[in-house]
Structures are given as C-alpha cells and as structure tokens.
Amino acid sequence: MIHNLAAGEQVFTSNAFLVTGERPVLVDTGANFDVVSRIRERTDSLEAVVLTHTHPDHVGNLAAVTEAFDVDVWGYDPDVDGVDHQIADESTVRLGDHEYVALHTPGHKDDHLCLYAAEPNILFAGDLIFQNGGFGRTDLPEGDRGALFESIDRVLKLVDENLTALHTGHGPSVTTQPYDHVELASRMARQM
C-alpha cells in the first residue's frame, strides 16, 4: 500500500509517501507537519527514508523521522547533509513489496531521482512530472531546462504505456491513464 501522509495538509510541504509491506519505506518526508505520528498510525516500523531530492519542502521533516525511527536516509548524493547512502543511477531499491529502479533525473535539482517499478507499474516522479502535464520548475539553483527535457524523455522511454500510478511530489497522485500525463509533460515542457 502507498499512503500520502501529507494529504490534506495546508502548509508548505511536499507529498510524503509511506510505502508499506515487506520493507516499509518513506519516500520524501515532507515539511511543516507531524509526519511521525502519521507514520505510527500505519506501521510500527520504518526501515528507510528514500529521497527524490533534497529541496527543503521534501526534507523538512527528515530529522524528526530519523530520530523517531532510527533509520538511514538514501538519496542520489551522499555529500548532501542528511543523506547517509547513495542510490546510484539505474540501481534498484526495495519499497514495500516491490523493486524499483532509480533514475537520476536532473533538471529541477541536480540530485533528483525518479523511482519506477515495472511490476506493479508505478512511478514516483518527485518534482519532475506532475498531473496534467505539469513539470518541475527550473528557476531555482541547480535548475536546468535542457536537463529537465532529457530527464522527462528518459522517464517516458522507460515507463510502460499501461502505467497504473504516477505519484508526484505535489498535488494528487494520478491513477487514471497516468502515462498520458507523463507524455503531456514531455510536450508541455518544450512549449513554455
């Protein structure tokens, strides 16, 4: 099961996805709300935190989570404060009951990762791709429009047309024809 622990929050935060199952993992911690109590409502243990990237809205609750659950943090760049272990490009990481391939997808931020599981055909897109063809901003430090295009296209080539869920860093997850939203993001990013 995948639970967005930030759902309904009216604060500056990213989504924070608790993936339960064999290996309970939190994908991004969000910021400015009590994510620890939300985790405890759904599971007794947490085995790791995996970060799509390290913008403050995605890691604001990181210290609270690591302190409460004594877990290590995995991300693309272990030189960034708070990241204990590197997830290399195209390596696999277990979230819940499934293996996800990690894709280094810069453009929004240099350490950005997307996570894709061919089975059950789920994509965690972080701030690369959003609902309705939205895509990550490139006007922040480390933003790069050309790299963003390449990253979106890389994801588009990897995911299956029968994608079942697109979990984004902000806004609602997409479960109705999510592949179309990825494809639209590729087109829209070039028109802006």
pLDDT tens digits along 28-85: 999 999 999 999 999 999 999 999 999 999 999 999 999 999 999 999 999 999 999 9
pLDDT, averaged across the chain: 96
pTM over 0.95, yes/no: yes
Please report which confidence band the pLDDT of residue 189 belongs to, taking 50, 70 and 90 as the band edges.
confident
Give me 151's structure tokens: 């990253």
Instruction: Kindly tell me the burial class for residue 115, based on how many C-beta atoms sit within 10 Å of its own C-beta (0-12, 13-18, 19 or more).
Output: buried
Tell me which residue range forms the domain holding 140: 2-191
Give me 33's structure tokens: 């709300």
H or E stretch including 73?
Answer: strand 72-75
| C-alpha distance from residue 58 to each of 13, 32, 157, 167 (Å) | 7, 10, 26, 14
CATH number of the domain at 35, please.
3.60.15.10
Q: How many domains does the chain have?
A: 1
Give strand pairing partners of 147: none
Q: What's the rounded Cα separation, in Å, for the pair 192 and 185?
A: 11
pLDDT tens digits along 140-160: 999 999 999 999 999 999 999
Give strand pairing partners of 74: 50, 85
